[in-house]
Amino acid sequence: MELFDATNAAAEAATYDAAQPRKGFFTDTTLCIGCKACEVACKEWNQLPSDGYDFTAQSYDNTGELNGTTWRHVAFVEQLGAGRSEAAAAPHRDAVIGSVAGRWLMESDVCKHCTHAACLDVCPTGALIRTEFGTVVVQQDVCNGCGYCVPACPFGVIDKREDTDGHAGKCTLCYDRLKDGETPACAKACPTQSIQYGDLDELRTRADARLEQVRANGQFHDASLYLRGEDDGIGGAGAFFLLLDRPEVYGLPPDPVDTTRDLPKMWRAAARTALAIVGVTAVAALVTRR
Amino acid sequence: MGDAAVPQSYYGRPVVKPHVWKPYIPWYFWIGGTAGAAAVQCVAARARGEHRLATVYKRTALAGVIIAPPLLIADLGVPLRFLNMLRVFKPTSPMSVGSWILTAFGGAVAASTAAEVLGWERTSRGLEVLAALFGPPLTVYTAVLLADTATPVWHAAYDDLPHVFAASGIAGAAAMGAMFAPYEESRMARRLMTLGAIALPLGSRVMQKRLGPLLAEPYRVGEGGSFRRMSGMLALAGAALSIAGGRNAAVTKVAAACVAAAGVFERFAVLAAGKQSAQDPKYTVQPQRERLAAHSG
């Protein structure tokens, strides 16, 4: 457990000389209209290439996923007829899409900037760092593209960039803009304030109030805050969400874990096995006739 | 609506990303694992006075440390930055720890070989023992590397994956001994080879059993299943040949080839099953849902 606590990089960031209050995103999906302005603003500011013109034929989402060159992704969930989750049903919010009862859910997904960040923990070069804003950033000139962070991320966010030299890429929370006291490009471009940027403490307070509000209105009984707390498997996130259905409906893991939490147990299991290799070999050497 | 039983997903898309390693990596896992176990068996053979067998093991370890780094470097997105692996020592990163283990092991094996060439026998033997200390960690760290990810079948198997990799390492090194050492000196190697060949599919079976029906699936279907079955058949064929025809030098060599190949296929099976388990969101969502239900219930 000590290993895990010692790697709480968010706590380390607070020891920086230039330490700032931890910054983050609160993405309120009740306000998202699926316009994808955040995706475009992100690509523009961070000079990320297009992903081509893929047609998913699944919904109005043709982006599909976060990857090395897509750092904001607007999920578009179409719940029509039998396809919808009854657990999240709120009848008076039903829209009529064509002649079918149902609803659309939109959510702008992004790197969660975890308190216990698996990508940062497993990075062998130290290319992934915690900034003075408590965010997680890839140093592009240090990363050697080993790819370890890719399967390590419990959210499937970070990926190798095939457009450049193959280093890892993900949301930086617009580190360069933050340094100048600016708002990240996506939050700046969002026309409905679905993406809200600010001090994490303040965002959490705001999110709690917003949750109470939407529940009190009787609109979204099943609304919940996702990654709002600090008692989950990643020790809380810098980017958290107000969702209207289960996380997995949006492609998010219901109980994400930074597996480095279990690393001491893993090394103990490996150490026992390493000793067994010596033991088995020694026994074979002793009992086998020459 | 019973949605706990049928996990929901976002158009069936993966929640976690599958690994992006090329086949260099399973090959490295096998070569590194074999080299690590070979260093241990080298010291054992030396203690038994079987110096020709010890030399085969030592050359196996040397071949491993020569081939392994290029494989690892070839897989990097930015190969020229491979030295960044030694920029820091990070206990939270099994890949960082592993890079240092490989460096130490490689240094010991290379130095021991150099001392041997120079005729410094005692130094050479001492360095062989040093290599044997770093050998087992080299064989098993790769299991920790895989287990410390969000890939469902890897993380859930963190107790069992080292056994599978150790069995493959022992079997692979012993197969080299049985293959290349003079027959009259390879008795220990043959015995370890048979043992490893039985332990490998057994370890894999135990791992699948403990993963449970859902997470064992990627080892049954698709590429993961095919590789795993190939590995199992080759291991058992190798063990059977070694037991039944162990008195014949030619049959022993065929058995050794089977056992070595079984280890390679097992590494490919683990990488393929990991990819499959990341690609289908049910393997990620369902165990997490069950975990949440267990906590709240």
Asked if B176 and B256 touch (Cβ cutoff 8 Å), the reply is yes
Q: With CA atoms as reference, report the closest residue to A34 among A82, A105, A87.
A: A105
Spatial distance between the Cα atoms of B113 and A210, rounded to a whole number of angstroms: 69
Q: Is the pLDDT of residue B142 over 70?
A: yes
Residue B278 touches partner A, C-beta closer than 8 Å: yes
Q: Are residues A269 and A212 in the same domain?
A: no
pLDDT in tens, B275-285: 999 999 999 99
Q: Are residues A144 and A273 in the same domain?
A: no
Per DSSP bridges, beta strands A224-226 and A136-138 are unpaired
Per-residue pLDDT, A1: 39
Give the model's confidence band at B73: pLDDT under 50 very low, under 70 low, under 90 confident, else very high.
very high
Record: contact A147-B137, CB cut-off 8 A? no
ipTM value > 0.90: yes
pLDDT in tens, B187-218: 999 999 999 999 999 999 999 999 999 999 99
Residue B184: alpha-carbon gap to chain centroid: 28
Asked if A277 and B40 touch (Cβ cutoff 8 Å), the reply is yes
Per-residue pLDDT, B7: 57
Q: Which residue has the higher pLDDT, A95 or B23?
A: B23
Per-residue pLDDT, B182: 96
Closest CA of chain B from A280, distance in Å: 8
Per-residue pLDDT, B206: 98
Q: Are residues A248 and A278 in the same domain?
A: no
The pTM for the full model equals 0.94
Q: Which residue has the higher pLDDT, B144 or A13?
A: B144
Closest CA of chain A from B282, distance in Å: 10
Q: Are residues A214 and A271 in the same domain?
A: no
Contacts of B15 in chain A (CB under 8 A): 155-156, 248, 251-253
pLDDT in tens, A261-286: 999 999 999 999 999 999 999 999 99
pLDDT in tens, B92-115: 999 999 999 999 999 999 999 999
Q: How many domains does chain B have?
A: 1
Host domain of residue B58: 24-286
Residue A269: alpha-carbon gap to chain centroid: 30
Residue among B3, B96, B151 minimizing CB distance to A85: B3
Q: Are residues A146 and A210 in the same domain?
A: yes
- Is B10 a member of any domain? no
For A274, the closest chain B residue by CA position comes to: B136
Record: contact A146-B41, CB cut-off 8 A? no
Spatial distance between the Cα atoms of B131 and A275, rounded to a whole number of angstroms: 15
What's the CATH code of the domain at A124? 3.30.70.20
Q: Are residues A158 and A271 in the same domain?
A: no
User: In this structure, which amino acid lies at residue B167?
Assistant: A
Q: Are residues A163 and A269 in the same domain?
A: no
What's the CATH code of the domain at B55? 1.20.1630.10
Q: Are residues A38 and A130 in the same domain?
A: yes
Asked if A227 and A240 touch (Cβ cutoff 8 Å), the reply is yes
pLDDT along chain A (290 residues), means of 10: 54 72 96 97 96 87 95 93 49 50 91 96 96 95 97 98 91 97 98 97 97 88 92 94 96 96 96 98 95
Residue B90 touches partner A, C-beta closer than 8 Å: yes
Q: How many domains does chain A have?
A: 2
Q: Are residues A134 and A275 in the same domain?
A: no
Host domain of residue A192: 2-257
Q: Are residues A230 and A282 in the same domain?
A: no
* Residue that the structure tokens 């022993």 belong to: B252
User: In this structure, which amino acid lies at residue A107?
Assistant: E
Q: Are residues A117 and A132 in the same domain?
A: yes
Q: Are residues A22 and A108 in the same domain?
A: yes
